[in-house]
């Protein structure tokens, strides 16, 4: 079967390990995720990030910023999300108990997020922050036959009349800018926004949610070119071409390690 349209999220997966794209395209919904505290805190952070515009709206008074009230509001949202997570992800988390979710919620440093929200309110002003983070759409699905790419960024935001893509990441943050997979994924989303809304996109936003660190990523021609190159490689993989196993692949917690090792042994028998 031909897979003409790739997902923007497959670009980030390809850059972690091209074989992940291969195995995921074959396993479909059967991929076994490891459901541990780290994964649960990832889901909680994603949900929490969707409420930050309400939290920022209630931050202190004027542009003074008040980390105390912000942290309190975050705690309320965190508790609500921890109580609702098993309902939101009922099928995926069917074997998880509520205490495990509470432990994952406890691992999130609310003080860090709260004080950063207050910093932004103080530095750029509440209205500017709200404009940056208030979604005009959540997980809005876009696709383009012309680009051969589809995807749904975590949010779309509207800044000065332009729709911009917004990506929420729950891992570590780089010192400056965005990690390369995040930069290329947001570039792919920017290209989709341009096709969908008929406007140019100059930049997108990546939020490193554990720290509430907002990074604006300029959409460069070089990265657009790279997205199209990666699209072509991903198409070939999804059409059945098994890529090489990269030397620095993150195999330790990979759900496909068993199948991947078997494939390697089979290949090494012949070559
Ligand atoms: S086991 Fe390693 S090489 Fe194989 S798909 Fe997973 S991360 Fe990639």
The answer, yes or no, to whether any atom of ligand 1 lies below 6 A from the CB of 24, is: no
Ligand 1 centre from 181 Cα, in Å? 17
Per-residue pLDDT reduced to its tens digit, 142-166: 999 999 999 999 999 999 999 999 9
Strand 149-151 relative to strand 142-144: parallel, antiparallel, unpaired? antiparallel
**Can you give the pLDDT at residue 79?**
96
User: How does DSSP assign 49-90, residue by residue?
Assistant: HTTHHHHHHTSSSTTT--HHHHHHHHHHHHHHHHHHHHHHTT
Asked if 210 contacts 109 with a C-beta cutoff of 8 angstroms, the reply is yes
Domain tally, the chain: 2
Residues whose CB is less than 8 angstroms from the CB of residue 117 and which lie 6 or more positions away in sequence, other chains included: 52, 55, 56, 59, 67, 70, 74, 129, 212
Q: Position of tokens 């997205």? A: 227
Q: What is the pLDDT of residue 60?
A: 66
Q: Using a 6 Å cutoff on CB, does residue 260 contact ligand 1?
A: yes
Boundary (domain end) residue, out of 85, 102, 133: 133
Is residue 94 a contact partner of residue 130, using CB atoms and an 8 Å limit? no
Q: Does ligand 1 come within 6 angstroms of the Cβ of 42?
A: no
For residue 230, tell me if it sits in a domain.
yes
CA distance 255 to 267: 20
Q: Cβ(256) to ligand 1 under 6 A?
A: yes
Asked whether residue 167 is domain-assigned, the answer is yes
Residue nearest to atom 1 of ligand 1 (CA): 257
Q: pTM for the complete prediction?
A: 0.91
Report pLDDT for 55: 92
- pLDDT reported for residue 254: 87
Positions in the chain whose pLDDT score sits under 50 = 1-2, 61, 63-64, 265, 270-271
Q: Residue 27 has what pLDDT?
A: 81
Same domain? For 159 and 194 the reply is yes
Which of 23, 25, 32, 254 most suits a substitution to test ligand 1, by most atoms within 8 Å of the C-beta? 254
Asked whether 15 lines ligand 1 (CB < 6 A), one says no
Q: Supply the DSSP symbol for 198.
A: S
Atom of ligand 1 nearest to the CA of 22: 5
139 lies in the same domain as 15: yes
Residue 65's domain comprises 33-133
Predicted pLDDT at 1: 44
Write down the pLDDT at residue 197: 96
The answer to the question of residue 208 being in a domain is yes
Regarding the beta carbon of 27 and ligand 1, being less than 6 Å apart is answered: no
Determine the Cα–Cα distance for residues 174 and 21; give it in Å rounded to an integer: 24
Nearest to residue 17, comparing CAs of 254, 255, 249, 243? 249
Q: Residue holding tokens 């074997």?
A: 95
């Amino acid at each position: 079967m031909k897979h003409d349209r790739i997902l923007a999220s497959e670009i980030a997966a390809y850059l972690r390990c091209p074989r992940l794209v291969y195995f995921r395209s074959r396993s479909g919904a059967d991929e076994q995720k490891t459901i541990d505290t780290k994964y649960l805190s990832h889901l909680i952070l994603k949900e929490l990030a969707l409420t930050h515009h309400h939290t920022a709206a209630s931050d202190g008074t004027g542009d003074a910023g008040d980390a105390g009230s912000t942290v309190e509001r975050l705690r309320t949202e965190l508790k609500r999300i921890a109580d609702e997570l098993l309902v939101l992800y009922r099928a995926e988390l069917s074997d998880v108990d509520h205490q495990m979710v509470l432990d994952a919620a406890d691992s999130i440093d609310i003080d860090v997020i709260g004080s950063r929200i207050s910093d932004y309110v103080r530095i750029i002003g509440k209205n500017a922050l709200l404009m940056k983070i208030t979604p005009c759409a959540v997980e809005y699905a876009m696709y383009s036959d012309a680009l051969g790419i589809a995807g749904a960024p975590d949010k779309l935001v509207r800044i000065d009349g332009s729709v911009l893509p917004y990506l929420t990441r729950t891992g570590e943050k780089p010192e400056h800018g965005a990690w390369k997979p995040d930069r290329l994924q947001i570039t792919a989303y920017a290209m989709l926004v341009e096709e969908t809304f008929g406007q140019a996109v100059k930049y997108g936003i990546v939020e490193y949610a554990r720290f509430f660190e907002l990074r604006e990523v300029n959409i460069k021609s070089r990265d657009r070119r790279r997205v199209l190159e990666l699209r072509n490689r991903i198409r070939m993989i999804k059409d059945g071409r098994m890529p090489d196993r990269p030397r620095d692949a993150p195999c330790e917690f990979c759900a496909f390690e068993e199948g991947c090792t078997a494939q390697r042994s089979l290949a090494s028998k012949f070559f």
